[in-house]
Amino acid sequence: MKFFTQGFSVNFISINKYFKLMQNLKGLLQFIFVVAPLFSMAGTPVLLPAKCVALGNSAVMKKHPVQLFYSPLAVTEFMRINLFLLQPDSSTVLADGDCAEYNDLYHDSVTLEDAAKFTNILENIGLLRYGKTLSVERRPIIKTNDTLFIRLWKTTQRSYQIQLVAGMVTNVGLQAFFVDTYLKKSTPLNIDGYTRISFNITADLASQVTNRFMVVFKPKVIGAPILEPVVTFNSVSAYPYGAQIKVCWNVKDEKATAKYEVEKSLNGIDFMLASTTLVTAANLKQGNYCWLDGHIAPGTNYYRIKGINVDGTSKYTAIVKVLVPITAVAFSVYPNPVKNHSINLKFINQAIGMFEVKLTNINGLAVYKTKILVSSNNMVLQLNIAGVHNGIYELAVTNAANATKVQKVVVQ
């Protein structure tokens, strides 16, 4: 078996090893997007996670410090489609499933961000895009009319049920419909929860076609005039707030406004969605909103606010920026003396980025060296220095600006 991340793939022998790796990866870093296709063993389908978002820290980092891909924070919407066998007693048995994810970090074309469909022995359900059948489809946030093409094959003459699980509530103004071309029926979908649709495959060949179903997305309001004043941005600001950056904006005349999107850039040109805030109480007076960016980068962080109206039109604020100085390296080691060849390394108010860690003996020879991605300002890592002899060493930590701090450690 194989799963892909952006930048590398890893082969596995068993499902157990996959889940063992997932357990080890738990707490590794904040932005690993794992593309995990569907697998079937002896005809039994197993649905692996379509997305893995790990948090915190892990000793796994010491083994694969340069194989990790970092992606900026952004909002991800999803639509999971599960196929069930519908039994005579109305109970269900999971047969197969797939998932579509929407994020402006993804590409419209089929890339390694997506996962090809592995064919099961029995029933199969997949997503068809550009002539390829996928188990995980990833593309940008839906902003206009769009269609999710479903491919269903290896069915038999019996009853089935499709369960659609959506997490698209942040896409205000979007509505979705499940279309059955055989029955010529369109069913509205819950875009923030479950929708279950039962159907039959019969002797009629038209009921067995592989492209019978699709999900159609449409705006709720098309071409309707704005009946209320367009939102007015009185002010927008961004400033340091502890180890974070606080972005605030003040508005009025927001009765026609559905939501606000905070967009972030590291170069002042290429902006990406960082957060979505729904309108809390539409009014003609003043409204105040704030958002905390806990993933600041060294250098200049740029922000702007996009106000989106119920009819889909939008309005931007001016760009604001905050300069985050590249500070000196600050960390602590505990316990010291080091016990059981395990070093707990805590970063103190450090910018997110790559750091080099090196342990040298009294002769200046490096006995341990690795590169790690610090994904939070006060991240704690556990370094396994098995094989390092007892003695006095110097631990040097270097940031992306080549600033270094050295601390003496005793290994016992």
Q: Are 189 and 152 in contact (CB under 8 A)?
A: no
Rounded CA gap, 287 and 54, in Å?
35
pLDDT (0 to 100) of residue 375: 81
Question: What number is the average pLDDT over the span 354-381?
Answer: 89
pLDDT in tens, 151-208: 999 999 999 999 999 998 777 778 889 999 898 888 889 888 899 999 999 999 989 9
Q: Which DSSP state fits 284? A: S
Query: Per DSSP, which regions of 103-158 are E strands?
Result: 115-116, 124-129, 132-139, 146-153
Which of 100-114, 132-146, 150-164, 210-224 has the weakest average pLDDT?
A: 210-224
pLDDT in tens, 276-298: 888 876 555 678 999 999 888 77
pLDDT (0 to 100) of residue 285: 66
Q: Are 188 and 180 in contact (CB under 8 A)?
A: no
Question: What number is the average pLDDT over the span 101-126?
Answer: 91
Rounded CA gap, 387 and 364, in Å?
17
Is the whole model's pTM more than 0.75, yes or no? Answer: no
pLDDT (0 to 100) of residue 60: 33
pLDDT (0 to 100) of residue 47: 35
Contacts of 302 (CB under 8 A, 6+ apart): 264, 265, 266, 267, 268, 271, 319, 320, 321
- R_g of the chain computed on alpha carbons: 26
- Mean pLDDT estimate for the chain: 78
Rounded CA gap, 152 and 116, in Å?
15
What sign for the dihedral angle of Cα 332, 357, 384, 63? positive
Rounded CA gap, 85 and 160, in Å?
5
Q: Are 153 and 184 in contact (CB under 8 A)?
A: no
In single-letter form, the type of residue at position 369 comes to K
Question: What number is the average pLDDT over the span 101-107?
Answer: 89
- The tokens for 318 are 């001016």
pLDDT (0 to 100) of residue 49: 35
| Structure confidence at residue 45 as a pLDDT band (50, 70, 90) | very low
Residue with structure tokens 């989106």?
308
Report the Cα 91 to chain-centroid distance in Å.
Answer: 33
DSSP secondary structure of 227-250: -SPPPEEEEEEEEEETTEEEEEEE
Residue with structure tokens 């601390």?
407
| Structure confidence at residue 76 as a pLDDT band (50, 70, 90) | confident
More reliable by pLDDT, 137 or 308: 137
pLDDT (0 to 100) of residue 291: 94
For residue 257, pLDDT beyond 60 = yes
In a 3-state reduction of DSSP, which class is residue 153? strand
Strand partners, 137: 100
Angle at 56 between CA 54 and CA 57, to 5 degrees: 100
| Of 272, 397, 293, 298, the residue nearest 352 (C-alpha) | 298
- The tokens for 80 are 């999971």
Domains located in the chain, CATH noted:
2-219 (no CATH), 232-324 (2.60.40.10), 331-411 (2.60.40.3080)
| Of 351, 346, 411, 363, the residue nearest 385 (C-alpha) | 411
Rounded CA gap, 202 and 398, in Å?
66
Classify strands 132-139 and 92-102 as parallel, antiparallel or unpaired. Answer: parallel
